[in-house]
Amino acid sequence: MTTYMGAPRSRGAELGRSAAGLARRLDWTLVASVAALSLIGSLLVWSATIPGDGSDPLESTDALRRHLLYLALGWTACLVVASVDHRGIRAYAPIAYLVTVVMLVLVLTPLGEVVNGSRGWIVIGGFQFQPSELAKVGLLLVLATLLGEPRDGEARPMTRDVVFCLVTLAVPLALVLSQPDLGTTLVLIVIFLGMLTLSGAPIVWVAGMLACGVAGALCVWWFDVLEPYQMDRIQTLMNPAADPKGAGYNTNQAMIAVGSGGFDGTGLFQGEQTHGQFVPEQHTDFIFTVAGEELGFVGSVLVIGLFALILWRILRIAQSCEQPYPRLLCVGVVSWFGFQAFINIGMGMGIVPVTGLPLPFMSYGGTAILANMLALGLVLGVGSRDRGFA
């Protein structure tokens, strides 16, 4: 009886020590920065989803409650991943990749649902999720494995490794592009290029990929490969006033919202553009316009500063890694977060075409929040196991 009663207490004490050890090793600057963005994002999502009829904010909290639930699930997943040694996660990278590819295929079946012109969602029993968001995590894991584990006797990835990575990238890339989802396609490409550039792969491949990217963009433009609405978005970027009620509507309304905030903003829940619903998808793709209008220049700079701090801390963790695999994980995540934040904020300011990418940690969306938190958990796990990091 004594032995039976003692075993659970021993296991409980061991779990407690493990949790306490993880808490001591976490990069709390990174955690606090993401928590601050999550808090700001929750307030902005709440404001953006209040009907424009003068409703009391306390009576319109359905979207806020769902958003907070997504954040709670995301933070739980983040801490679970952070508590697992990244070397153990590495063993399951091929499985994670294959699962995401299968889900991307299922999107193209009757299980897939079209939202905003893109068949990118799976709906089962009223529950819906977006596999392309999770594909970022699956690709990240498998690329870090392929590029971060050179063969015996080799100090860096060789040509065959890069070719294998290209094949690995091509599968989810083709599936996401067929939805079509140009924004996520660009994110997957940026993750690959960022990891390839810093993997030590032959420089001819890095230069070749960049050259192919430029040539591909020129060919797309020259041969009119893009859909008409995509061409309209690019032309609107060049001249937003050309079609203010048509293709340029989103961009013009976004810039009006950001500009109307002035230095210190109109105040939370007080934005006329926001509550007039002039900016479409303002709780997801255009969440930054809510920050610009209601929090003003000060709040916008705070949001951008927090993102800069997050990227810097992830790069510090990457710099501290002695092994290529964990370092490339961090490089992939910083490429992902940095590019997506730049595009989303740039859309709100009218300096990049509208591509429909959410702002990490701030925009509403269950699958996107989960994917972001899983990536953050990978970074925190890497940082917590490197004693040399400070």
Q: Using one digit for the tens of pLDDT, what is the confidence trace for 299-342? A: 999 999 999 999 999 999 999 888 889 999 999 999 999 999 99
pLDDT at residue 226 above 80?
no
How many Cα atoms occupy the beta-carbon half-sphere of 358 within 13 Å?
21
Which residues make beta-bridge pairs with 124?
Answer: 127
Q: Which of 68, 331, 343 is nearest to 186 (CA)?
A: 343
Sign, CA dihedral 207-209-210-216, equals positive
pLDDT at residue 6 above 60?
no
Per-residue DSSP letter, 128: E
389 — pLDDT class (breaks 50, 70, 90): very low
pLDDT at residue 346 above 70?
yes
The mean pLDDT value of the chain amounts to 82
The average pLDDT across 179-193 equals 89
pLDDT at residue 50 above 70?
yes
Residues recorded for the chain: 390
pLDDT at residue 16 above 80?
no
Residue type, 226: L
Is-contact 185 134, C-beta < 8 A? no
User: Rounded to the nearest 5°, which phi and psi values hold at 123?
Assistant: -120, 120
Count the Cβ atoms, other than its own, within 10 Å of residue 280: 14
Amino acid 24: pLDDT:
72
Domains of the chain, by residue range, sit at 29-384
pLDDT at residue 345 above 60?
yes
Which residues make beta-bridge pairs with 115?
Answer: 118
Is-contact 287 45, C-beta < 8 A? yes
Amino acid 153: pLDDT:
55
Which range, 35-49, 169-183, 219-233, 235-249, has the best average confidence (pLDDT)? 35-49
Q: How far is CA 311 from CA 59, 135, 180, 200, 317, in A?
A: 37, 21, 29, 21, 10
Q: Using one digit for the tens of pLDDT, what is the confidence trace for 233-290? A: 555 555 555 555 555 667 777 888 888 888 888 988 888 888 777 778 888 888 999 9
Q: Using one digit for the tens of pLDDT, what is the confidence trace for 109-136? A: 888 887 777 788 888 776 788 999 999 9
Determine the 3-state secondary structure of 208 from DSSP: helix
Amino acid 275: pLDDT:
77
**Helices 249-260 and 324-349, axial angle in degrees (round to 10):** 90
Q: Using one digit for the tens of pLDDT, what is the confidence trace for 61-103? A: 888 999 999 999 999 999 999 998 888 888 899 999 999 999 9
Amino acid 187: pLDDT:
93
Amino acid 2: pLDDT:
45
387 — pLDDT class (breaks 50, 70, 90): very low
Q: Which of 84, 79, 66 is nearest to 35 (CA)?
A: 79
Is-contact 310 376, C-beta < 8 A? no
